[in-house]
Amino acid sequence: MELTIENLSHRYGDMTVLQDISLRVPAGQILCLVGPSGCGKSTLLRMVGGLEYPELGRVLQHGAPPSDCLNPLTFVFQDFALLPWRSVAGNISLVLEDHGIRGSKAKAIIDDVLARTKLSDFRDALPRQLSGGMKQRVAIARALAVNPAVMLLDEPLSALDAQTRELLMEDLVGLWQRQSFTAIYVTHNLAEAVRLGHKVAVLSRRPGQIREVIDITTPLTDRAAGDPELEALQAHLWSLMREEALAADQELVDG
């Protein structure tokens, strides 16, 4: 499924957070949205996912989602958002129950997504027993269970340490390779953006506007940490953002 954002603007009170954003997310591609903190990239993602109303403009989905898709636009959150009182399998079954999927049919789906995220041995564990990386794997498994047409990833790796991040990036590439999904991936980490994005959109800070959209043609599997081409790209992205990141850093929290 393809998504387009058309002339989207949004204000909180007097402050314009997003101004005239237009973007296209082609089917089967990952669009990375980067920008300094406070540029409204998470807000934009929530609007794409229908959790917030934009003041102006609209978000369009093109074409019907596949018939076996339970939840076309599916989020993966930074803080995992797992129910602490449900086991790994229970957290996944939560999103199936409302669609009337129970019993052996649910078990088949849960087994499949746990295998894809290498969690099969942990189906009965509680979230508090899992490491951060494992928790995010559970959240990704839960997202895969509803067979999403578009994945909306809101800084999914930002709460994890560098090594876990590296491992999960490889996992995400593997998942995309197996079955290419459409995704918007919000991050402030430029290394993640150049590793996972087919396109990288750079947002400016307050008001958030698209500064540049970069296409990266290297296939995802051929990208590795330390690739000079990607390093150069990352440096270019940083040069676009550096001044604003500095300004964001020096601002008082409540203005």
Partner 1 sequence: MADPAQNVPFRGGGFRPEARRGAGLVVFVVLLLLIEWGTRAGWISNLTLPRPSDVATTLMELANSGALWSHMGPSLTRLVVGSAMGVSAGIGIGVLIGLFSLVRAGLIPLVAAIFPIPKIALLPLFVIWFGIDEGSKYALIALGTFTPTVVATYGAVDNVDRTLIRMGQSFGLSWLSIVRKIVLPGALPGILSGLRVSLAIGIILLVAAEMLGAEYGIGAYILQAGSLYDLERLFAGVVILSALGVLTSWMIGQVERRFLVWRS
| Site residues (vs partner 1, CB under 8 A) | 49, 51, 70-71, 73-75, 77, 79, 81, 83-86, 94-95, 97-98, 126-128, 142, 146
Phi, psi of 14 (to 5 degrees): -90, -10
Least Cβ distance, residue 226 to partner 1 (angstroms): 35
Least Cβ distance, residue 86 to partner 1 (angstroms): 8
**N residues, the chain:** 255
Compute the distance between CA of residue 153 and CA of residue 146 in angstroms, rounded to an integer: 15
Compute the distance between CA of residue 133 and CA of residue 219 in angstroms, rounded to an integer: 25
**Shorter beta-carbon distance to partner 1: residue 80 or 176:** 80
**Shorter beta-carbon distance to partner 1: residue 86 or 123:** 86
Least Cβ distance, residue 147 to partner 1 (angstroms): 12
Compute the distance between CA of residue 51 and CA of residue 6 in angstroms, rounded to an integer: 17
CB 44 within 8 A of CB 6: no
CB 209 within 8 A of CB 19: yes
Least Cβ distance, residue 11 to partner 1 (angstroms): 21
Compute the distance between CA of residue 217 and CA of residue 199 in angstroms, rounded to an integer: 9
Compute the distance between CA of residue 225 and CA of residue 243 in angstroms, rounded to an integer: 25
Q: How many CB atoms lie within 10 A of CB 197?
A: 25
CA dist 250 → 62, 112, 247 (Å): 41, 47, 5
The encoded tokens of residue 69 equal 């898709």
**Shorter beta-carbon distance to partner 1: residue 83 or 213:** 83
Q: Is 243 helix (H, G, I), strand (E, B) or coil?
A: helix
Least Cβ distance, residue 130 to partner 1 (angstroms): 12
**Shorter beta-carbon distance to partner 1: residue 127 or 208:** 127
**Shorter beta-carbon distance to partner 1: residue 51 or 56:** 51
Least Cβ distance, residue 94 to partner 1 (angstroms): 6
**Shorter beta-carbon distance to partner 1: residue 149 or 233:** 149
Least Cβ distance, residue 250 to partner 1 (angstroms): 28
**Shorter beta-carbon distance to partner 1: residue 49 or 174:** 49
